[in-house]
Each structure stands twice: as C-alpha cells, then as structure tokens.
C-alpha cells in the first residue's frame, strides 16, 4: 500500500481547500489554548491571594498554564487511538469542541475575591481539559494534511498547517494588544481580561462548523478498503516496533516546545519584567515576531521538500540560536530595537515547520496518528510543561536564561539535523 493514492501530481484546488480549512480551524483552536499566556500577570493578580509574593504568584500562574501541557498525553493518546481505528476526521472535529467549552468557561469564572481557593482550582481543571483537547488537535492536524497531499508536497503541507497554528498565536497577540490599548489597567482587571476568552469560545464553535466540510483522508480510506487498519492497540505496536521513531519525535518536540513557549509565548511578559518595556510595546513586537514566524514555517516546509529535513534543521537551528541570543542581549543594551530583533527571532523560530515532516514520515500509516501523538504529547508534557517553570526559576540567577535555554535546544536540534542529513544520503527520507 502506498502512502498516497497519487504521489507525483501537483497540488489541486481540493488540496488547497483542505489546507485552508485545516489551518484556519487549527489557528482558532490554538488561539483558545494560548490566549491564557498573554494575560498571566492579570490572572495571577485575580486568582491568587493578594498577599502572595509576586515571584510565587508568577510561578503558580505559569504552573496552571503548564498544566494544559501536562494533560496533553491523555487526550492525545485517546484521540489518536480512535483516529487510527475509526478515522482522522472524527477526532479532528471532536478536539476543537472540547477546546471551545472550557475557553468560554474561563471567561466566565469567578475570581479569588469571590470564590477563594476554588477559583484557581476551577481554572486548573479547565486548563487540563484544554490540554486534553489540544493533545489530539495538533498531531491529528499534521497527519490529516500529510495524508491528503502528494508525497512531494508533505513538507509544504505540514509547514503551512504549522503556520496556521502559529496564526492562532498571532491572533492572540493581536487581541491582547487591542485589549491593552482599548482598556485601562484597572478596566482590564475588572472585566477586560474576560473578553478574549469569551471570543475564543465563539471561535471554537465556528471551527466545529468549519470542519464539517473536510473529508476523510485518502490514506485512511485506502487502509479501510484493504482491511489494513491496526489489528491490535496502535500504541502497543508503536511501543514495541517503533521506539526509535518515538525518541526522534520526542527530541524534535523538545526543540519545538522550547522555541514556541520561550520565544513566542513567554517573551512578551519576560521583557516587560527584565527590561521595563511597556506591555503594549512588547505585545506589538510579539505580533510582528509571530507574523514572521508564520512565514518562517511555510519557508521551512518548502525547504524540506527540496533540500531535506537534515539540512533545514541544521541551518534553521543555527539561525534560531543566534537570533535568540541577539534578542535578549540586544534588548539589555537598547530596548528600542525590540521590533527588529524580535522579528528576526520569530522568523528563525519558523524552523519548527520542518518538525512535523520528520515525525509524519517516522511512523507507518496504520499507527501514524498514535505514534506521532504519543511522542509529541509526552514530550510536550515533560519539556513544554516544565519550560515556563524552569525558566522562571532560573531568571533570578541568569537574566539571559530564556536565550540560553533556546540556544541549548538549538544545539540538540542541530545535532538531530546532522543525523537526519546522513540518513537522507543513504535513503530517500
């Protein structure tokens, strides 16, 4: 059985339609998941005791944010299991519904002043549900688009879908910027912070409706027709026969999580504290960086199809290490350069657009969803979930901790790229 029914044809209108709907739906769902990070300072003030030390409030708020990552493996494993047995499309639609409901609920939550300790507990529970939902969304989206397009365009498809997901971050940044411009700090504390979450709930329902127009992947239909679906629990097969692919995928997910969590999600808040940059300035620069990240992901996917994943990762990781260091060291000297430095960093973070290409190819079709989802979500729960806490704890010791963390992972990603580069010389990856 081939991976695709037609391998060498060009992308057609239906391919672009599928990519557009999948990317748009993913952007709306990812907005729901990440909007939390743009309001961590406000959420910390509202959902924890007012006499709590600022550093502890920040760590606990980031901890609740991280809880969403910790819950990803559960949602990912369950949805991937049924995605490999019942179809990609059904789980693709379910994940976004499970995201919309808790996002809307967060926007309606009572604060610590009203509910006491129950407020952060409820907030934590809703973040866990969000994490379970996104655990099925991202791997499912990569598998979905990769199995719809010809083999020679899988890199472009995965890069475009990843760009769509980062579009959700861009949308979150735009909304957060608009809110901080439109409302005073006191108005944001009183009621303004709720609006982005309520908007996100509506976005989620729109995404559920959009995905009714998507079709099941040709690869899954072919497996059904040939009775080639997994004969046992897909995850059991993955753990027994594809452990090397799991390790490779987890390493690349660690790289992806470091790039996104530190450089895109945490940096707007961090530069406010480290360099006294106003919130509106930091968020505007983040919007610019995320826009450049969008194009960087598409470029990485395009590059993978033509030059291979190995070369793309080696060059991309080198650029990311350099620009992350330039961003934090440059802002220390001259904070007014934030737009240029952050834009360059955002573009280089686009190397993550090459990551799903490698992971999609690492597993056979019958267990692809389960293998990719297990590896990605387990690694994100461990590394992505702990990253905000680790960086926050390191900051008092090393003001350059965010950049140093990303640089270290860029080295890991570059070495992985060298390994893939050598493998690509021996076979067609």
Percent of the chain with pLDDT over 70: 88
What tokens does 198 get? 């309520």
Per-residue pLDDT of 4-56, as tens digits, reads 444 566 666 777 777 777 777 778 777 887 788 788 888 888 888 888 877 78
User: How many residues in the chain?
Assistant: 429
Q: What is the spatial distance between Cα 266 and Cα 88, in angstroms, rounded to a whole number?
A: 32
Q: Is the pLDDT confidence value at 346 over 60?
A: yes
Q: Is the pLDDT confidence value at 127 over 60?
A: yes
Average pLDDT, the chain: 84
Are the CB atoms for 359 and 376 separated by under 8 Å?
yes
> Can you give the pLDDT at residue 357?
94
> Can you give the pLDDT at residue 339?
95
Q: Is the pLDDT confidence value at 308 over 50?
A: yes
Q: What is the spatial distance between Cα 374 and Cα 362, in angstroms, rounded to a whole number?
A: 13
Predicted TM-score (pTM) of the model is 0.80
Q: Is the pLDDT confidence value at 316 over 70?
A: yes
Work out the average pLDDT over 170-199: 88
Q: What angle do CA 187, 189, 195 make, to 5 degrees?
A: 75
Are the CB atoms for 391 and 174 separated by under 8 Å?
no
Superfamily designation of domain 13-423 = MFS general substrate transporter like domains (1.20.1250.20)
Per-residue pLDDT of 70-82, as tens digits, reads 777 777 777 776 6
Confidence of residue 147 (pLDDT cuts 50, 70, 90): confident
Positive or negative torsion for Cα 317, 323, 326, 330: negative
The residue among 22 and 129 whose pLDDT is bigger is: 129
Q: Is the pLDDT confidence value at 255 over 90?
A: yes
Dihedral, 246, 250, 251, 255 alpha carbons, nearest 10: 150
Positive or negative torsion for Cα 76, 77, 78, 80: positive
Work out the average pLDDT over 52-77: 79
Query: How is the chain split into domains, by residue range?
Result: 13-423
DSSP at 6: -
Work out the average pLDDT over 268-281: 88
Number of C-beta neighbours around residue 13 at 10 A: 7
Are the CB atoms for 121 and 79 separated by under 8 Å?
no
**End-to-end alpha carbon distance in the chain:** 17
Are the CB atoms for 382 and 395 separated by under 8 Å?
no
Dihedral, 104, 108, 109, 115 alpha carbons, nearest 10: -160
Highest average pLDDT, of 39-48, 102-111, 216-225, comes from 102-111
Q: What is the spatial distance between Cα 293 and Cα 288, in angstroms, rounded to a whole number?
A: 9
What does the DSSP assignment read for 182-247?
HS-HHHIIIIITHHHHHHHHHHHHHHHHHGGG----HHHHHHHHTT-S-SS-HHHHHHHH-HHHHH
Percent of the chain with pLDDT over 90: 32
Confidence of residue 225 (pLDDT cuts 50, 70, 90): low
The residue among 75 and 426 whose pLDDT is bigger is: 75
The residue among 282 and 54 whose pLDDT is bigger is: 282
């Amino acid at each position: 059985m081939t991976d695709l029914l037609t391998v060498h044809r060009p992308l057609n209108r239906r391919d672009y339609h599928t990519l557009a709907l999948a990317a748009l739906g993913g952007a709306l769902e990812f907005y729901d998941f990440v909007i939390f990070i743009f309001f961590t300072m406000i959420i910390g003030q509202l959902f924890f005791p007012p006499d709590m030390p600022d550093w502890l409030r920040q760590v606990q708020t980031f901890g609740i944010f991280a809880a969403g990552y910790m819950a990803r493996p559960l949602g990912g494993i369950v949805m991937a299991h049924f995605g490999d047995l019942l179809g990609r499309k059904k789980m693709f639609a379910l994940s976004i519904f499970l995201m919309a409901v808790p996002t809307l609920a967060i926007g309606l939550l009572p604060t610590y002043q009203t509910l006491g300790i129950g407020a952060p507990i409820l907030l934590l529970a809703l973040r866990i549900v969000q994490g379970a939902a996104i655990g099925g969304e991202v791997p499912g989206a990569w598998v979905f688009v990769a199995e719809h397009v010809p083999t020679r365009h899988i890199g472009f498809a995965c890069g475009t879908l990843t760009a769509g997901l980062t579009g959700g971050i861009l949308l979150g940044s735009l909304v957060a910027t608009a809110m901080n411009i439109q409302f005073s700090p006191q108005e944001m504390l009183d009621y303004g912070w709720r609006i982005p979450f309520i908007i996100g709930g509506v976005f989620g329902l729109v995404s559920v409706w959009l995905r009714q127009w998507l079709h099941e992947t040709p690869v899954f239909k072919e497996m059904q027709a040939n009775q080639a679906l997994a004969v046992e629990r897909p995850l059991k097969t993955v753990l027994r026969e594809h452990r090397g692919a799991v390790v490779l995928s987890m390493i690349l997910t660690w790289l992806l999580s470091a790039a996104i969590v530190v450089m895109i999600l945490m940096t707007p808040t961090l530069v406010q504290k480290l360099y006294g940059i106003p919130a509106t300035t930091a968020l505007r620069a983040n919007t610019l960086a995320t826009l450049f990240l969008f194009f960087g992901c598409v470029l990485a996917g395009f590059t993978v199809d033509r030059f291979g994943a190995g070369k793309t990762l080696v060059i991309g990781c080198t650029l990311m290490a350099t620009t992350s260091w330039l961003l934090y060291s440059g802002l220390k000297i001259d904070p007014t350069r934030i737009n240029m430095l952050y834009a360059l960093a955002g573009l280089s973070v686009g190397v993550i657009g090459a990551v799903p290409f490698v992971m999609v190819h690492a597993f056979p079709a019958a267990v692809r969803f389960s293998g990719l989802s297990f590896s990605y979500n387990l690694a994100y729960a461990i590394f992505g979930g702990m990253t905000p806490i680790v960086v926050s704890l390191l900051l008092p010791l090393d003001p350059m901790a965010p950049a140093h963390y990303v640089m270290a992972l860029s080295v890991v990603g570059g070495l992985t790229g060298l390994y893939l580069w050598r493998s690509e010389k021996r076979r067609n990856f």
